[in-house]
Amino acid sequence: MPDAQTSIEQACTTESLLGRSVVLVGYGNQGRAHALNLRDSGVVVKIAGRTASTARARAESDGFQTKDTAQAVPGADLVIVALPDEVHAEVWESAIEPHVKRGQTIGFIHGSSVHFGLVRIPDGIGAILVAPKGPGSTLRERFIQGQGIPALLAVAQERDPGTGGPTSHELARSWAAGLGCARAAVVRTTFGDEAETDLFGEQAVLCGGMMGLAQAAYETLVEAGYPPLLAYMECVHEIKQVADLLYARGPAGMRAAISNTAEFGAYSAAPRMVDDATKTAMRTLLKEIKDGTFTRTMQADHDAGAPWFRAQRAIAKAHPMEQSSADVRALMPWLAAEATGGTTPSVDTRANEQGKHTQQ
| 214 burial type by CB count under 10 A (0-12 exposed, 13-18 middle, 19+ buried) | middle
**Alpha-carbon span 211 to 165, nearest angstrom:** 47
| Residue 283, φ and ψ in degrees, nearest 5 | -65, -35
What is the edge-to-edge ordering of all strands in the sheet holding 22-25?
7-8, 186-188, 151-157, 126-132, 105-108, 78-81, 22-25, 45-49, 66-68
Please check whether residue 334 is in contact with residue 245, taking contact to mean a CB–CB distance below 8 angstroms. no
Nearest one of 87, 55, 195, 184 to 131, comparing CA atoms: 195
Which amino acid makes up residue 106?
I
Residue-level length of the chain: 360
**Alpha-carbon span 122 to 50, nearest angstrom:** 24
Helical axes 208-223 vs 321-330, angle rounded to 10°: 90
Residues 6+ apart with CB under 8 A from 165: 20, 77
Please check whether residue 139 is in contact with residue 179, taking contact to mean a CB–CB distance below 8 angstroms. yes
> Which listed residue (34, 88, 99, 110) is catalytic?
110
Would you call 302 a catalytic residue per the annotation?
no
Please give the positions annotated as active site.
110
